[in-house]
Amino acid sequence: MAFFSCNGPSEQKKEIDPTTIKVEGELVADMIDPPLVPLSVVNRPAKKLIVHMEVVEKEMEMTDGVIYNYWTFGGTVPGSFIRTRVGDEVEFHLKNHPDNKLPHNIDLHAVTGPGGGAESSFVAPGHETVFSFKVLNEGLYVYHCATAPVGMHIANGMYGLILVEPAGGLPKVDKEYYIMQGDFYTKGAYGMRGLQPFDMNKAIDENPDYVVFNGHVGALNGDKAITANVGETVRLFVGNGGPGLVSSFHVIGEIFDRVHVEGGSLINENVQTTLIPAGGAAMIEFKVEVPGTLILVDHSIFRAFNKGALGMLKVSGEENKEIYSGTTQTGIYHPEGGRPQNMPEEEAVPEVVAESIKEQMEFGKQIYARTCLACHQSEGQGIAHAFPPLAKSDYLNADVNRAIDIVINGKSGKIVVNGVEYNSVMTRQDLTDDEIASVLTYVYNSWGNDKKVVTPAMVKAIRDK
């Protein structure tokens, strides 16, 4: 027997032919920066919805010290969330900022028409184009630039989401957020400082240096984390701009109560990880029952810990020991950074090296955060029985050349740090001489250590031995 399951809005859609919905009046669309979204359409009638979007090419930070020339819809990656309802007539104004270097256009997957609008929206710097479309199908859709070389425009950040709500809007929830995954390809390896140009060869190979949420490593971490309170319902609008990778979207510590699979009308329940195709999306809903930091990841896990695809949802409120109890070790899931690429020498951009002790401290802190912190912890306190402390470490302070050697070559076997024996393995860290000098200078000048300064020449001397 085949019955339609009772999904409310999608049944209404069957009754009304959306092409016959009349529009009543005009409305200028709200444009808000991610991870926020405009308010639901709730009960408003279908309208002529006027969207003003400007393409902006601009340099922004990919991660600490790494600059990238992003091409954006509206100045952010992803571009502003566009919220419509079935039957709206969208009048789309696409501007190309006069300071931009390239022509652009827009292909919205919610459009029924040639190129999803791309064929009508090609616009040169300093100009504006206007085209109109009626939204017929409810769901969550990707939009992106489709100007040649298409892959390059998308890889530089030109994507966003457009939501088509059913008449009456989506069911009410307490919190809504907008997240989009994207992969980025740079000439230099992950974390290499300076302005990093796009690397077309890596893009064709689909081998990104960065896989991130909302355009930057850490865009949803720390004080930029999204938030909710215990007992609230959360809806995540999650898209994948690609251009290359499919996302295995997962939230560590939560189960998705409902997922609009691929952003459409099919609802799956009790989902652990949902697949989000490149150029696709999903609507994910869950209730948060206990406090803590939920970690958003692409569960292709090296991308999360080594390429940046890691975000946070901080839940505050009362504990509920019936649902979860146990001592919590905060900060188990940290980014670990990545140096997986071997760049051909001639393509590598020159390394930006620390010029002063002040810069060594600054760079060293960043290198520590993405390379050492995952094991030795944020204040160098280590983890009992597993990772020795770097704070007030007698072992560290006793011999600087030995410390350099450990970072270059790794370490295994018994050692005694502050009277406690460790017998574990530290992996060799694939860092440059300058980076090792900076990170060790930072460690020696933090947490009660004895303030040695390590130079690249000292590191080189050990490496060459």
Contacts with Cu ion, residue ranges (CB under 5 A)? 104, 145, 147, 153, 158
Q: Residue 25 carries which DSSP code?
A: S
Q: Which is nearer to Cu ion, 104 or 303 (CB)?
A: 104
- Segment near ligand HEC (CB under 6 A); pick from 56-64, 93-101, 228-236, 416-424: 416-424
- Segment near ligand HEC (CB under 6 A); pick from 20-28, 173-181, 208-216, 406-414: 406-414
Angle (CA) 316-317-323 rounded to 5° is 105
CB of 112 to Cu ion, least distance (A): 22
Q: Between the CA of residue 73 and those of 49, 147, 190, what are the distances in Å?
A: 18, 13, 25
d(CA 64, CA 130): 38
- Segment near ligand HEC (CB under 6 A); pick from 3-11, 77-85, 108-116, 372-380: 372-380
Question: Is residue 403 part of the contact set for ligand HEC (CB under 6 A)?
Answer: yes
Q: Which is nearer to ligand HEC, 243 or 335 (CB)?
A: 335
End-to-end CA distance of the chain: 76
CB of 44 to ligand HEC, least distance (A): 53
Q: Which is nearer to Cu ion, 73 or 141 (CB)?
A: 73
Question: Is residue 427 part of the contact set for ligand HEC (CB under 6 A)?
Answer: yes
Q: Residue 145 binds which one of Cu ion, ligand HEC, none, with CB within 5 to 8 A depending on kind?
A: Cu ion
Q: Structure tokens of 52?
A: 């003003």
Residue 390 contacts residue 396 (beta carbons within 8 Å): yes
Q: How far is CA 82 from the centre of its chain?
A: 19
CB of 138 to Cu ion, least distance (A): 27
Give the pairing of strands 159-165 and 139-144.
Answer: antiparallel
d(CA 127, CA 258): 43
CB of 330 to ligand HEC, least distance (A): 18
Q: Between the CA of residue 117 and those of 20, 54, 132, 180, 363, what are the distances in Å?
A: 21, 15, 8, 21, 45
d(CA 171, CA 392): 54
Residue type, 183: D
In angstroms, how far apart are the furthest CA atoms of the chain? 80
CB of 379 to Cu ion, least distance (A): 44
Q: Residue 427 binds which one of ligand HEC, Cu ion, none, with CB within 5 to 8 A depending on kind?
A: ligand HEC
d(CA 377, CA 446): 13
For ligand HEC (CB under 6 A), the number of binding residues is 30
CB of 386 to ligand HEC, least distance (A): 7
Q: Residue 152 binds which one of ligand HEC, Cu ion, none, with CB within 5 to 8 A depending on kind?
A: none
d(CA 230, CA 316): 6
3-state helix, strand, coil in the chain (%, to 5): 20, 35, 45
Which of 423, 448, 450, 451 forms a contact with ligand HEC (CB under 6 A)? 423
Q: Which residues in the 373-392 window bind ligand HEC by CB under 6 A?
A: 374-376, 387-390
Nearest to 142, CA basis, from 167, 107, 93: 107
Q: Which is nearer to Cu ion, 154 or 236 (CB)?
A: 154
Residue 160 contacts residue 33 (beta carbons within 8 Å): no
Q: Residue 369 carries which DSSP code?
A: I
Q: Which is nearer to ligand HEC, 278 or 431 (CB)?
A: 431
Q: Structure tokens of 465?
A: 């031995």
Q: Residue 50 binds which one of Cu ion, ligand HEC, none, with CB within 5 to 8 A depending on kind?
A: none
Q: Which residues in the 21-40 window bind ligand HEC by CB under 6 A?
A: none
CB of 209 to ligand HEC, least distance (A): 19
CB of 59 to ligand HEC, least distance (A): 28
d(CA 365, CA 444): 11
CB of 316 to ligand HEC, least distance (A): 30
- Contact positions toward ligand HEC, by CB under 6 A? 371-372, 374-376, 387-390, 393, 395-396, 403, 406-407, 411-413, 415, 417, 422-427, 429, 439-440, 443
